[in-house]
Amino acid sequence: MDQRTLEVSWTTLSEIIRRVTKTEWNEFSVFFRATGDIGSVAQLIIDKSKVHKQLTLLKKPLSILEVRRIFEVIAETTGYGSRERKERLIETLLGRATSVEAKYLVKILTGEMRTGFQEGLMELAVSRAYSMPLKKIQVATLRTGDISEVAVICKKEGKEGILNLRFKVFRPVKPMLAQLAENVKEALDKYHERTAFEYKMDGARIQIHKSSDEIRSLVVVSQMLVQVCLRLSSSSGKNLM
C-alpha cells in the first residue's frame, strides 16, 4: 500500500474549486451548508458552471494512470513553493475533470473517500480471486502488514510466493488482536482443552526492530521506550523484532 500523503488542506481545495468554476464564496457556502461534503460541493458547482463545461469539452479526458501520476507528483512536492506547485497541479486536474470525477478526486485529496471495505473482506476477496486458503492469506497479511502486497504476490508468484513469506526486520507486523467472548464458558467451549489463562497488564502495543546497530521503534518514542531501545542495543542478536 502506498503510504505517501497528499497533504492538501480543505481551505486550499475550496479556493481551487472556486477558482476553476469562477464561483463566489457566498455561493460555495450555500452548497456546503446543504451537503456538508466538499466533494459533493465540487460536483454541484461544476454541474452548474458553464465556463467549466466549455473547457472540459475542449480537453482530453482524464485516465486513471494519469490521475495516479499527478497524485504521485503532488505527494512528492515539498519544500519552498510546494503549496503553489500543488495548487497548479490540482487546478489542472479539476479543470479537466467531469463533475462526478471531481467529486471523487476531491474526496481522495481530503482523505474522505469511504469505500466501506474492511480488511477482512479484502482478504476473503484475494483468497477467492487466486484460489488460496483464507488462512494462508490472513497469515501473509500478518507478516507483511499489507493486504495489497499480498494480492500482488498472489498474482505474480502464486501459492509458492505466499508460503515463502517471512517476517522482515523494519517491516511492521500486524498485531494479533484478541477475539471477543461473552464469558469464560464461551471461550472454553470454543477451544476446549487448548485454553490457557494469564494475567493481562495494560500498556502500549509497540514494535521495536533491531538490525546490527540500527534500532527503530514503530511508535513515537517516549522516555521509557528510549530505555528499552538502549537495552536492545547491547543485546547480542543481529536481527531482532
Hey, which residues are catalytic here? 200
CA distance 19 to 1: 33
Q: Which helix (H) or strand (E) holds 240?
A: strand 239-240
39 CA to centre of own chain = 19
Taken as a whole, the chain contains a residue count of: 241
Torsion angle of the four alpha carbons 10, 48, 32, 93, in this order, in degrees rounded to the nearest 10: -10
The phi and psi torsions of 53 (rounded to 5 degrees) equal -60, -40
Residue with cell 464561483: 23
In this structure, which amino acid lies at residue 127? S
Whether the CB-CB separation of 39 and 46 falls below 8 Å is answered with: no
The CA radius of gyration of the chain, in Å to the nearest whole number, is 24
Strand-by-strand arrangement of the 239-240 sheet: 214-217, 208-211, 239-240
